[in-house]
Amino acid sequence: MMDVSKKGKLSLFLCSVLACNLWTLPVFADVSVLPFDVKLETVTSYDGGDWIWFHPRAAAVPGDGNDGMPSVGITLQRHLNASDYYSGMYVMLTEDLGKTWKGPREVPELAWREGDSGETIAVCDATPGWHPQSRKIIVLGLQLRYSKTGEQLEDKPRSLQTAYAVHDPFTRAWSGWRTVELTDNDTKFYISGPGCSQWIVQDDGNILLPIYYKSSPNGVYSVTVLKCSFDGDTLRVIEYGNDMHLNVERGLCEPSIALYNGTYYLTIRNDVKGYVTTSKDGMHYEPIKDWTFDDGAELGSYNTQQHWLTHSDGLFLIYTRRGANNDNVFRNRAPLFMAQVDPEKLVVMRETEKILMPNTGATFGNFGATTVNQNESWVTDAEGVFGDALKPGVTARVLLARIVWSKPNLLAAK
């Protein structure tokens, strides 16, 4: 039997050791850290030198793949070596969780078409998603107008507006592009749309769609959320959220929405820094605050979109940022990072940050993030190679970062 005095000294020693360890380890009193691993792979690539793949974003269809696995489709476009100048839509498909891929295949229904004045009508910045109530894939993006030289035209109302297409994954049929009618289409929403925006489906089948807009050609952008009904064919706006403004540097754009533990989260792009806000009903949001780390330092994400991943045990942000030995990259758009978010304090937990896609000199930032199954979520992006760097023989890849969770994600569709 241990002597009582020795036992007391041992207890005191153990308490001291534990206290020291707690002091030196990161402490997240209110947030349980959810570990994850990252596996990076190439989906496709191109080295012709005249264009690159861009805007790859994925959506999963539960049970549609081999042996009960989900099928996963990726929408992507060719960037035609001029600013924001894109081809029609292409798709890729895997039925075995990315072991093999079909495509890229051009979708004729989603190709360019000619406008009334001879301009090109196209859709870009698109995000696909699964609508479980109708068992359809909806692709939401920006319809825009190009001149014959690829310049974006904004000379009349609705030159940029919300567009969508519907895909039946079981028959492989596509609708053409359609546009969403808004009130005040020619005034308040002179130019508007969900460029690169993540959107969500509510339990009743309604869609919460964040958009950005401006009321004149020379105005700054603001952000709001649209609540839309969808009957399997047509998307209709049934409610408008509050407006969020920032009267600096083009304002606010490219918002993305997530739902976690009953709270809606919105992350928003700005030329100077990224912003975040929350809502209890998904439509009415608190004043925006700038993104920071949990130590109070600025996150450093600027003039680039951020996106969310949700897990039943954690909320995560994906982003690029300055301050990562990456001044060699345009707008510091590499590496691509992911970190867990404190959902109450609305800060990024620095110690959880991981690189999803490394800095190789190419840009990232026009990416997608989606849940695939309980074990994996996927982040997809394409290497941006521009100007004199884009020439025959230079390979630009479409990349997939598999987020492999340490615990099952109970939010994944079954």
Q: What is the CATH number of the domain that holds 192?
A: 2.120.10.10
Decide if 142 is inside a domain.
Answer: yes
Confidence at residue 359, expressed as pLDDT on a 0 to 100 scale: 98
Decide if 198 is inside a domain.
Answer: yes
- Residue 309 pLDDT level (bands cut at 50, 70, 90): very high
Decide if 9 is inside a domain.
Answer: no
Confidence at residue 249, expressed as pLDDT on a 0 to 100 scale: 81
Longest dimension (CA), the chain: 95
Residue 354, classed as helix, strand or coil, is: strand
Distance CA 27, CA 350 (A): 11
In the chain, % of residues over pLDDT 70 = 93
Distance of CA 346 to the CA centre of its chain: 18
- Residue 346 pLDDT level (bands cut at 50, 70, 90): very high
Contact status, residue 91 vs residue 196, Cβ threshold 8 Å = no
Q: What region, left, alpha or beta, does residue 348 occupy, with left being phi > 0 and alpha being psi -120 to 50 degrees?
A: beta
Distance CA 301, CA 296 (A): 14
Distance CA 286, CA 307 (A): 19
Is the pLDDT reported for residue 19 higher than 90? no
Is the pLDDT reported for residue 23 higher than 90? no
Confidence at residue 387, expressed as pLDDT on a 0 to 100 scale: 87
Is the pLDDT reported for residue 90 higher than 90? yes
Confidence at residue 250, expressed as pLDDT on a 0 to 100 scale: 92
- Residue 29 pLDDT level (bands cut at 50, 70, 90): low
Decide if 8 is inside a domain.
Answer: no
The β-bridge partners of 15 are: none
- The domain in which residue 292 lies consists of 34-405
Instruction: Provide Rg for the chain, Cα atoms.
Output: 23
Strands (E), 107-160: 113-114, 120-131, 136-146
Distance CA 167, CA 308 (A): 24
* CA–CA distances in Å: residue 380 to residues 180, 200, 311, 359: 27, 18, 18, 15
Closest by CA to 404, choosing from 363, 356, 360, is 356
Q: Mean pLDDT across the stretch 257-283?
A: 98
- Residue 315 pLDDT level (bands cut at 50, 70, 90): very high
Is the pLDDT reported for residue 22 higher than 70? no
Decide if 5 is inside a domain.
Answer: no
- Residue 5 pLDDT level (bands cut at 50, 70, 90): very low
Q: Mean pLDDT across the stretch 288-304?
A: 98
Decide if 410 is inside a domain.
Answer: no
DSSP state, residue 286? P
Strands (E), 241-313: 253-260, 263-269, 275-279, 289-290, 307-311
Distance CA 179, CA 235 (A): 9
Decide if 14 is inside a domain.
Answer: no
Confidence at residue 3, expressed as pLDDT on a 0 to 100 scale: 42
Contact status, residue 224 vs residue 213, Cβ threshold 8 Å = yes
In this predicted model, what pLDDT tens digit does every residue of 361-393 receive, in sequence order?
999 999 999 999 999 999 999 999 998 899 999
Q: What is the number of structural domains in the chain? A: 1
In the chain, % of residues over pLDDT 90 = 88
Q: Mean pLDDT across the stretch 67-72?
A: 97
Q: Exposed, middle or buried: residue 231 (CB in 10 Å: 0-12, 13-18, 19+)?
A: exposed
As given in the structure block, the two tokens for residue 97 are: 């969780």
Contact status, residue 382 vs residue 398, Cβ threshold 8 Å = yes
- Which residue carries 């990076």 as its tokens? 40
Contact status, residue 91 vs residue 374, Cβ threshold 8 Å = no
Decide if 223 is inside a domain.
Answer: yes
